[in-house]
C-alpha cells in the first residue's frame, strides 16, 4: 500500500492533489485541520491535512518522484501496515467477545479483555487488577461487549479520579522542567511561556541550565526574542541563584534543564547540584509517549530524588495509545499536567484529562 500525506488551505484543493498524485481509486485514511507556516512554530495558519493510500497493484499516475520520495513512501506504508495489524487484532477480539455473548465461559471472556488491554500498552499487573474487578459483575446470559466496555471504562475512571490529572495552575514562581534528552522540554517551555505571555499577559522570564547543547540555548534564545522576554544562561549553581534573584519580581520563570542519558545515575545528582528545589519552585518531569513502558518506569525511578509535581507527556501525535502513561499514573500515583500533540507553538499542548486517557485506551474496544 502506498500512503501519502497532502496539505492545502481547503478540502477541495487537497482532494485535487490526492487525485492528481494517487488517482481516483485512492482511499482517505484520515483528515484533520492543522496549522502550518509561521516562524519556529508560532503564528501558524489553519490548513487541511489528508492522509490517503492506494494499493500498489492499482494503476498509478506517472510521476517524477525521486528515490528519497520512494523511501519516505515506504516508511509511511510500513507505519500503515503496523496500524492495519493492530486493527486486525482488535477485530479478532471483537469477534471473540461477540461469540461469548449468551454463554457461561468467563475464562475465555477474561482472556479477551486481558489481550485487548495489554495490546493497548497497559501493564500486566494493572490488567489483572482491572479484570478481577469487572469479571464478577458480568452477566454471561446477556450481551457482553457493551457490559465489558462500560465496566472497564468505569474502573479506569475510578483509578484515575484519585490522581492529579490535568493542570490547575502553577504554584511556584519558578517552574522547572527535567527529563531525558530528546523528549521536547525546550519546545514545551516555549508553548507554556507563549500561553502565559500572549493569553495571561504575565511577565515571564526564562532560565536555561542546558549548557551541554549549544543548539538548545540558541533555540530558547530565539523563543525569548520572539516573546520579548529575558533569558539567563546558568552554567553553575551560583549563576542559577543569580538568575533567580534577577527575576524575583516576575510572575513566572520557566527553567530548562539539560537532557541527559537517564541510565547515567550521576545525571540527577548533577541536576540537584545546579538548581534549587525549594518552596517557591515546582518541577515537572517531561516524558515522551513514544518511549517503551519499561523505559518510562526507569526514567521516573531515576528522578526519585527530585520532588516531581506532575508529568508532562509529549509526542502524542506519534503514538496510538496512552496506555504507558496511564500505567505510570496509576501504578506510581503521579499526576499528568499536560499532553503535547506536535511541534506547534503555542497550540500543540493541552491540559490532560481522565476522559482523554481512558478514551485513548478504549477507543477501539467493541461496544456492540
What's the whole-number average pLDDT of the chain?
Answer: 80
Q: Is the pLDDT of residue 233 over 80?
A: yes
Tens digit of each residue's pLDDT (9 = 90 or more) over 164-190:
999 988 988 999 999 988 898 999 999
Which among 46, 88, 63, 45 has a CA at the least distance from the CA of 4? 63
- Could you tell me what percent of the chain has a pLDDT over 70? 73
* 186-220 tens-digit pLDDT: 999 999 999 999 999 999 999 998 776 667 788 88
- Mean pLDDT calculated for residue range 350-354: 94
Is 133 or 71 the better-scoring residue by pLDDT?
Answer: 133
Is the pLDDT at 43 greater than 80? The verdict is no
Q: What is the mean pLDDT of residues 333-350?
A: 90
Report pLDDT for 103: 47
What is residue 23's predicted lDDT score, i.e. its pLDDT? Answer: 83
Q: Which of 65-69, 214-218, 319-323 has the lowest mean pLDDT?
A: 65-69
Which pairing describes strands 231-233 and 252-256: parallel, antiparallel, or unpaired?
unpaired
User: Is the predicted pLDDT of residue 160 greater than 80, yes or no?
Assistant: yes
CA dist., res. 204 & res. 193, Å (int): 7
In 9-123, beta strands by DSSP E:
27-36, 45-54
E-strand ranges in 211-325 read 231-233, 252-256, 281-288, 308-314
In whole angstroms, give the CA distance from residue 315 to residue 341: 6
| Sheet order of strands, 174-178 included | 231-233, 204-208, 252-256, 174-178, 281-288, 308-314, 335-340, 349-351
DSSP letter, residue 293? H
**In the predicted model, what is the mean pLDDT of residues 1-10?**
78
Higher pLDDT, 267 or 105: 267
Stronger pLDDT, 266 or 175, i.e. the higher one: 175
- pLDDT computed for residue 166 by the predictor: 94
Residue 106 has pLDDT above 60, yes or no: no
Across 59-63, 147-151, 185-189, the highest mean pLDDT is recorded for 185-189
**Residue 92: partners with Cβ closer than 8 Å, 6 or more residues away:** none
Residue 358 has pLDDT above 60, yes or no: yes
Lowest-pLDDT choice from 119-128, 269-278, 294-303: 269-278
Q: Which residue has the higher pLDDT, 301 or 368?
A: 301
User: Quick check: helix, strand or coil at residue 206?
Assistant: strand
Q: What is the pLDDT of residue 44?
A: 66
Half-sphere exposure of 40 (CA within 13 A, CB side): 16
Q: Of 8-17, 46-55, 176-185, 273-282, which one has max mean pLDDT? A: 176-185
Quote the pLDDT of residue 50: 81
Higher pLDDT, 55 or 58: 55
For range 230-250, the mean pLDDT: 92
Give CA separation, 57 vs 26, 53, 81, in Å.
12, 12, 16
pTM of the predicted structure, to 2 decimals:
0.71
**Residue 109 has what pLDDT?**
72
pLDDT at residue 135 in the model: 76
Predicted pLDDT of residue 66 = 47
How many angstroms separate the CA atoms of 206 and 223, rounded? 10
CA distance between the termini of the chain: 30
Instruction: Rank 33-37, 93-97, 260-264 by mean pLDDT and report only the highest.
Output: 33-37
Amino acid at each position: 500500500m502506498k500512503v501519502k500525506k497532502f496539505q492545502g488551505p481547503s478540502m477541495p484543493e487537497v482532494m485535487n492533489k490526492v487525485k492528481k498524485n494517487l488517482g481516483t481509486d485512492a482511499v482517505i485514511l484520515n483528515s484533520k485541520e492543522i496549522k502550518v507556516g509561521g516562524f519556529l512554530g508560532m503564528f501558524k495558519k489553519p490548513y487541511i491535512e489528508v492522509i490517503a493510500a492506494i494499493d500498489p497493484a492499482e494503476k498509478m499516475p506517472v510521476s517524477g518522484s525521486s528515490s528519497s520520495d520512494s523511501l519516505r513512501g515506504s516508511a509511511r506504508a510500513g507505519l500503515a501496515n503496523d496500524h492495519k495489524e493492530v486493527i486486525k487484532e482488535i477485530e479478532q477480539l471483537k469477534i471473540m467477545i461477540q461469540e461469548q455473548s449468551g454463554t457461561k465461559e468467563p475464562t475465555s471472556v477474561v482472556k479477551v479483555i486481558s489481550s485487548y488491554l495489554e495490546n493497548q500498552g497497559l501493564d500486566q499487573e494493572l490488567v489483572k487488577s482491572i479484570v478481577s474487578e469487572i469479571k464478577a459483575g458480568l452477566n454471561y446470559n446477556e450481551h457482553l461487549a457493551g457490559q465489558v466496555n462500560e465496566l472497564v471504562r468505569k474502573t479506569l475512571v475510578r483509578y484515575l479520579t484519585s490522581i492529579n490529572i490535568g493542570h490547575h495552575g502553577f504554584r511556584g514562581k519558578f517552574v522547572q522542567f527535567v527529563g531525558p534528552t530528546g523528549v521536547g522540554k525546550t519546545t514545551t517551555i516555549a508553548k507554556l511561556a507563549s500561553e502565559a505571555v500572549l493569553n495571561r499577559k504575565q511577565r515571564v522570564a526564562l532560565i536555561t541550565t542546558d549548557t551541554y547543547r549549544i543548539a538548545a540555548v540558541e533555540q530558547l534564545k530565539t523563543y525569548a526574542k520572539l516573546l520579548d522576554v529575558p533569558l539567563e544562561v546558568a552554567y553553575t549553581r551560583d549563576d542559577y541563584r543569580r538568575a533567580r534573584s534577577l527575576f524575583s519580581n516576575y510572575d513566572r520563570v520557566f527553567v530548562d534543564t539539560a537532557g541527559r542519558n537517564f541510565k547515567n545515575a550521576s545525571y540527577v545528582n548533577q541536576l540537584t547540584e545546579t538548581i534549587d528545589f525549594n518552596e517557591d519552585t515546582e518541577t515537572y518531569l517531561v516524558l515522551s509517549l513514544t518511549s517503551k513502558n519499561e523505559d518510562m518506569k526507569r526514567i521516573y525511578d531515576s528522578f526519585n530524588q527530585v520532588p516531581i509535581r506532575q508529568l508532562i507527556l509529549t509526542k502524542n501525535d506519534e503514538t496510538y495509545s496512552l496506555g504507558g502513561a496511564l500505567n505510570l499514573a496509576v501504578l506510581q500515583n503521579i499526576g499528568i499536567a499536560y499532553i503535547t500533540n506536535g511541534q506547534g507553538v503555542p497550540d500543540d499542548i493541552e491540559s490532560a484529562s481522565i476522559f482523554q486517557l481512558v478514551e485513548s485506551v478504549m477507543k477501539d474496544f467493541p461496544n456492540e
